[in-house]
Structure 1
Amino acid sequence: MDEGSGRGRPRKNPGQLARWTPPDGWSRLVAWISPEEKKALKRVAVEAEVSVADLVRALAGGLAGGAITHEELTGHVRKGMRVMEKIPTLFERDDQFKVVDRPRAECAWVFDGAGAATEKLDGTNVRLTVRSGQLVRVEKRRNPSKVQKQQGIVDGWYVDADDHSAEDKWILVAARNTEVSGWPDGEHACEALGPRIQGNALALEEHRCVPFNLQVPEYGDVPRSYGQLWDYLTKLESRFAPGHLAEGIVFHHPDGRRAKIKRKDFPRAAA
C-alpha cells in the first residue's frame, strides 16, 4: 500500500489551509444538532461516500427539486411522533378511573389559555400514505403489551394493515372509501370511522378516514376549568356529525403538545 496516499499524511504547506469558494448567491447555514443526530449524519455520509456537507446539500437539493417533500423529511417530528405518543388527559383520575378536579402538571399550558381545541373523534387510529393523489399504504396503530409496558415501552407505533385479516377489514374499507386525491404527498394520521368501527358513536352510514391535519373540526371559546368542561361536554354537538354528541376535545399547543378530555372521563356520563 502506498503510505503517501493514506489519510493523515503531512500537508506540504501546513500553514496554508485548503479553501473552497462557494458559487455566487450561496450562503452558509449553521444548526445545532444532538450527538445522536450528528452520529447519524456521519454514518449516512460514510455509507454514501460523501461529506456531511454534501449530504446536507443533497437534502436541501432534494427539497428544492421536489424529489422529497417537507412532510416526508419532517413529518416524524411534526406529526408522526406527536400522533403516536400517548396524549395525556387534562386531569388526574381517581380509583374508579374518573377524572377529578386536579389538573395534570404536563397540561398546565391548557389552563394558561394556550392552544386550540378540536373535536376528538371516536374511532380507530390509522395512518394513510398518499403519493400523487393515490392511496399507497394503510397502517394501523399497535399499542404496547403489558410486558412491553413493564419494559418501559409506553408509546404506540404503526404496522401495516393486512388485506387477509378480518380484524383489519373495516379500517381498510374506510381507507379505500376516503377521497385522497387532494391530499399532499406524505403520511397522514387519521381516525377511521364508520358503522363497524368502535360502535359508530356518530351514526355514520359509511366508513371513512378523517385526517387529523386536514379535516378535524375546531371549536372556539372552549372553557378550561373542570366544572365548565364537564358541563360543556355534556351538551357539545359534533361538528363532524351534527345531531350527535362529540366524544370530547383535544387541545393542540403550537409547539406540538396535545392534551385531551372526553365526556365519559367525568364521574357521570352525559345523557
Structure 2
Amino acid sequence: MEKIPTLFERDGAFRVVDRPRAECAWVFAGEGAATEKLDGTNVRLTVRAGQLVRVEKRRNPSAAQKKAGIVDGWYADTAEDAAEDRWILAAARGTDVAGWPDGEHPCEALGPRIQGNPLGLDGHLCLPFDREAPVYEGVPRDYPGLRAYLAELESRFAPGALAEGIVFHHPDGRRAKIKRKDFPGSARPGRA
C-alpha cells in the first residue's frame, strides 16, 4: 500500500509550509477530485458474494524497517481474540457489504471507540474509499486558500463535525492529502 503524499513540504516541527511538493503538481494544476479525509483507522475488507470474509488492519513500518528501506505500509489480518482489534471488527460488522462487488476494499473504520470519534458517530462502521467518499467542489488549491477552507470545513459524512482534511484523487490513481492539523497554529479537529 502506497503512502499518500501531503501536498506541501514540512518544516522542522512537522507542519506544512507554503512550498508545494513536486509530486503533487497535478493538484495545483487543477486536476483531480477532492474528497473528505476521514479520521479513523485504515482497514481493508474482503467481500465475496455480498459477505464479509476477511478484515485486515494497516500496519506501518517500524523505525528499524524504515532504515532498512521499507517505507510503505501493508495490511495484516485482525484476530477475533485480540483486544486491539475489537473496535475494528465492530466497525466491519457494522457495515452492510451486501451490495459491494467481490474484492478487497480499503476503508476507514470509524466510530465511538476509534481515534477519539471526532465525527461524533453513535455506532461503528467502515466507509470504503472506492465507493462512498463525499466529494467537494470548488476546493482551493493554494496554501492560504486551503488553510482557510479547512479551518471551517464541515464533514459531509457527519454534519455538525469538522472534516479532518481533503484527499485529492487523480483519474490515473494518484492521490494527495492535506489535513487541518498540518498547518501551523491549527487545532486538532473536533465537534463544530
- Scaled by the length of structure 1, what TM-score is found? 0.69
> Which structure 2 residues correspond to residues 60-209 of structure 1 after superposition, within 5 A?
84-209=1-126
Q: How many Å apart are 1:269 and its aligned residue?
A: 1.4
In 2, the alpha carbon distance for the partners of 1:99 and 1:254 equals: 25
Q: Among residues 129, 149, 171, which one is paired with 1:254 in the alignment?
A: 171
In 2, the alpha carbon distance for the partners of 1:239 and 1:117 equals: 12
Q: How many Å apart are 1:268 and its aligned residue?
A: 1.4
In 1, the alpha carbon distance for the partners of 2:185 and 2:121 equals: 25
Over residues 156-208 of structure 1, what are the superposed CA-to-partner deviations in whole Å (9 max), with x where a residue is unaligned? 01111011100000000000110000111111000000000001000000000
Q: How many Å apart are 1:223 and its aligned residue?
A: 0.5
Over residues 69-110 of structure 1, what are the superposed CA-to-partner deviations in whole Å (9 max), with x where a residue is unaligned? xxxxxxxxxxxxxxx211000001111111000000110110
Secondary structure at 2:158's aligned position in 1?
Answer: coil
Partner of 2:183: 266
Amino acid at match of 2:37: K
Can you give the 5+ residue segments of structure 1 that lack an aligned partner in the other structure? 1-83
Amino acid at match of 2:22: A
Over residues 248-270 of structure 1, what are the superposed CA-to-partner deviations in whole Å (9 max), with x where a residue is unaligned? 00001111110000000000115
Secondary structure at 1:128's aligned position in 2?
Answer: strand
Q: Among residues 143, 157, 168, which one is paired with 1:226 in the alignment?
A: 143
Aligned-pair identity in percent equals 76
Secondary structure at 2:139's aligned position in 1?
Answer: coil
RMSD of aligned residue pairs (Cα, Å):
0.8
Task: Select between 206-215 and 261-270 the one with higher mean Cα deviation.
Answer: 261-270
Secondary structure at 2:109's aligned position in 1?
Answer: strand
Partner of 1:31: none
Can you give the 5+ residue segments of structure 2 that lack an aligned partner in the other structure? none
Q: Which has the larger radius of gyration?
A: 1
Amino acid at match of 1:233: L
In 1, the alpha carbon distance for the partners of 2:172 and 2:102 equals: 23
Partner of 2:157: 240
